[in-house]
Amino acid sequence: MTRPRDATYTTGDGLRLFYRDWGDPLSPRTPLLCLPGLTRNSADFEDLAARHAGARRVICPDYRGRGRSDYDPDWRRYHPRVYLEDLRHLLAAEGVGRAVVVGTSMGGLLALGLRAAAPSSVAGVVLNDIGPDLSPGGLGRIAGYIGRDRPQPDWDSAVAELKRLMPRLSLDTEETWQRFARATYREGADGRLHFDWDVRLAKALGRVTGAMPDLWALFRGLRDVPVMAVRGGVSDLLSPETFDRMAGELPHLVRATVPGCGHCPTLGEPAVALRLDEFLDAIY
């Protein structure tokens, strides 16, 4: 397995943000920029990065307030406009002028925003269980657990809590659940395990979802680049109706569904992994 480089960069407002950098920076192939979901971090893309780092560079950032990045002293800056500016700082710092963006959940919405703000910087997009319409049930479920820390005494308890919160994930072994738990919790000074994100994200989420832009217009902005969309078969955030409309809006859209999986797929499931790898490999 190719070993990643752990690094940080400084944002315009002085926060130090973490990212994991896989592969050869001098590879002639277009890099991948892997953007996690609302509360997630770079660890979610470890397997995907390992699969592609032999051929191209793969950059996996932690947003502000998540993982190994600084928390923002002002929760109101947990906003997509700020995340996009952070990402543009990262790409500039690493000399990346163009990337294929793999975006899970909120990361997919940021891919749409990046394409709109800097069209030439996006060479292709993968949208993982996200679309221009967000189902209220899924949003409500997410909002219901991200804003309150639930400390756990050990890793087995952390796994049990995640199984309760997210019973429809495609994780099917104790090993994969343990890996997921270690990408979700961090050990605190009290020796207990705490969510690895700033729980004040819940405050910001309410403000953002109340003032969403026209996401369909942003989605149609992908008409000139390769696009793949992945849906969990029982996702409560991306409905079948929205998934079908996406194909109607972009006839070149490549689609894949992970049967029985909720929000959201890992992108390593047999139903999607090979098709995803083929899609990415076709973008030089």
pTM of the model: 0.96
Q: Are residues 99 and 30 in the same domain?
A: yes
Q: Are residues 59 and 155 in the same domain?
A: no
Range of the domain at 184: 149-198
Q: Are residues 217 and 190 in the same domain?
A: no
Q: Are residues 47 and 92 in the same domain?
A: yes
Neighbours of 140 (CB within 10 A): 10
Q: Are 142 and 236 in contact (CB under 8 A)?
A: no
Per-residue model confidence (pLDDT) at position 211? 66
Per-residue model confidence (pLDDT) at position 213? 84
Q: Are residues 125 and 81 in the same domain?
A: yes
Report the C-alpha gap between 97 and 57 in whole angstroms: 13
- β-strand pairing of 99-104 with 193-195: unpaired
* Cis amide prior to 261 (ω within 30 degrees): no
Report the C-alpha gap between 281 and 30 in whole angstroms: 10
Q: Are residues 53 and 71 in the same domain?
A: yes
Per-residue model confidence (pLDDT) at position 210? 62
Q: Are residues 169 and 272 in the same domain?
A: no
Q: Are residues 113 and 247 in the same domain?
A: yes
Q: Are residues 122 and 237 in the same domain?
A: yes
Per-residue model confidence (pLDDT) at position 248? 97
Neighbours of 118 (CB within 10 A): 15
What are 226's two structure tokens? 């390769």
DSSP 98-145: -EEEEEETHHHHHHHHHHHH-GGGEEEEEEES--SS--HHHHHHHHHH
Q: Are residues 25 and 53 in the same domain?
A: yes
| CATH number of the domain within which 62 lies | 3.40.50.1820
Q: Would you give the end-to-end CA distance of the chain in angstroms? A: 22
Residue-wise burial string across 44-66, b where 16 or more C-beta atoms lie within 10 A, e elsewhere: bbbebbbbbbebbbbbbbbbbbb
Q: Are residues 188 and 169 in the same domain?
A: yes
Q: How many domains does the chain have?
A: 2
Per-residue model confidence (pLDDT) at position 207? 79
- pLDDT tens sequence for the chain (284 residues): 468 999 999 999 999 999 999 999 999 999 999 999 999 999 999 999 999 999 999 999 999 999 999 999 999 999 999 999 999 999 999 999 999 999 999 999 999 999 999 999 999 999 999 999 999 999 999 989 999 999 999 999 999 999 999 999 999 999 999 999 999 999 999 999 999 999 999 999 887 766 678 999 999 999 999 999 999 999 999 999 999 999 999 999 999 999 999 999 999 999 999 999 999 999 99
Reference 228, options 171, 281, 169, 168; nearest CA is 281
Report the C-alpha gap between 204 and 115 in whole angstroms: 23
**Cα dist. 66→75, 113, 152 in Å?**
12, 20, 18
Q: Are residues 40 and 156 in the same domain?
A: no
Q: 198, 230, 263: which is the final residue of a domain?
A: 198
